[in-house]
Amino acid sequence: MSTKIDSKLKVTLGGLPQKIHVKSNDTTLPVLLFLHGGPGVINRHGVLGAHADLLDTFTLATWDQRGSGGSYWGAARETLTVQQLTDDAAELVSRLCKRFDKDKIFIIGGSWGSELGTHLAYQYPAKIAAYVGFGQMVDGTRNEELSYAFTLDAAIAAGDTKAVAVLEELGKPERGQYKGGFAGMMTQRRIMMKYGGYSQNTKKRSYFSSIVKPMLLSGEYSVSDLIGVALGYKYVLQAMWPEVGSTDLLAACPKFEIPYFIFDGRLDQNTPAELVEDYFNAITAVHKELIWFENSGHNPMGDEPERFKTLLREKLTAVVKAEQERGVVL
């Protein structure tokens, strides 16, 4: 029997109460769990705002990961590890399957969420129907080397002597780490965004106006959630980046027992697109597809939303039909 729901609540994952928001116009539809980026950059407002039209095809589940937003409170620093968040995600997948009487659900992750989703798909495939990644993480060391080089070259080409001086003072990242840690990374990211490495649509906008302001104005978050956003973002990134920055997903997760899709922006310099094709060609999966979005950067779901969502519906609906023929409930 189908029902509509719109539920914000806390569920205990890995011993920590964590915030989720699940919305559905028809609970018989397949469940799609979004894994946000960062780590520490929550995205409930974007998923359930600009992309609420996906409710015609899916029950949408959003989650503030451990230490972030509504899940900030009580997250001990030593628990902020890739493995713990992967285990949290697996527990959430199981809860969603049970809540909606599904054998499997879909997962989709952007940026850091693509790393989390890849670990989840590799380690816990039994209850996952398919993975979709965008802004795909591949190799943390090479990622930062290429992103820094793009940013410096763009600043030089623009005659932006101030930015060039800042980047040269910052220096090249080593093993995915910038001098100054969090502050150094934010310096590089701000200049990278200025030159379109994140998105051509945010080329002349600040990090605040592109990411923070929409979150604050969305109405999605409680005061407690927003305090968690402000306190958690830096806290989580500082705790996790040494591990995230040394990512080598090909070595860690070379083979998948589920369909594995990458929807990637050709213009992405935040997680540089040039790393993605070699990674995709090297992994094995029961089914895999790499779909390029030629006019998109780090977030093709935002840069080319209609094409992204049309293809998302098409690819995952095909998985639903194939699984249903095998008697699997999605």
What pLDDT does 210 receive?
64
Q: What is the mean pLDDT of residues 264-268?
A: 96
Which of 43-47, 120-124, 130-134, 257-261 bottoms out in mean pLDDT, i.e. has the lowest? 43-47
The pLDDT-based confidence of 180 (bands split at 50, 70, 90) is confident
What pLDDT does 124 receive?
98
What pLDDT does 181 receive?
87
What pLDDT does 203 receive?
59
**pLDDT single digits (tens) 285-302:** 999 999 999 999 999 999
pTM of structure: 0.95
Q: What is the mean pLDDT of residues 55-70?
A: 98
pLDDT surpassing 60 at residue 204:
no
Q: Between β-strands 284-293 and 255-265, what pairing exists: parallel, antiparallel or unpaired? A: parallel
Task: Write phi, then psi, for 76 (nearest 5 degrees).
Answer: -65, 140
**What mean pLDDT is reported for the chain?**
94
Specify whether the CB–CB gap between 300 and 308 falls below 8 A: yes
Which of 206-215, 280-289, 297-306 bottoms out in mean pLDDT, i.e. has the lowest? 206-215
3-state SS class at 114: helix
The pLDDT-based confidence of 206 (bands split at 50, 70, 90) is low
- For the stretch 49-56, contacts whose Cβ atoms lie closer than 8 Å and that sit 24 or more positions apart, written own/partner, are 49/218, 49/220, 50/302, 50/305, 51/301, 51/305, 51/309, 52/23, 53/309, 54/309, 54/312, 54/313, 55/23, 55/24, 55/25, 56/25
Domains of the chain: 5-140+223-325 (3.40.50.1820), 141-211 (no CATH)
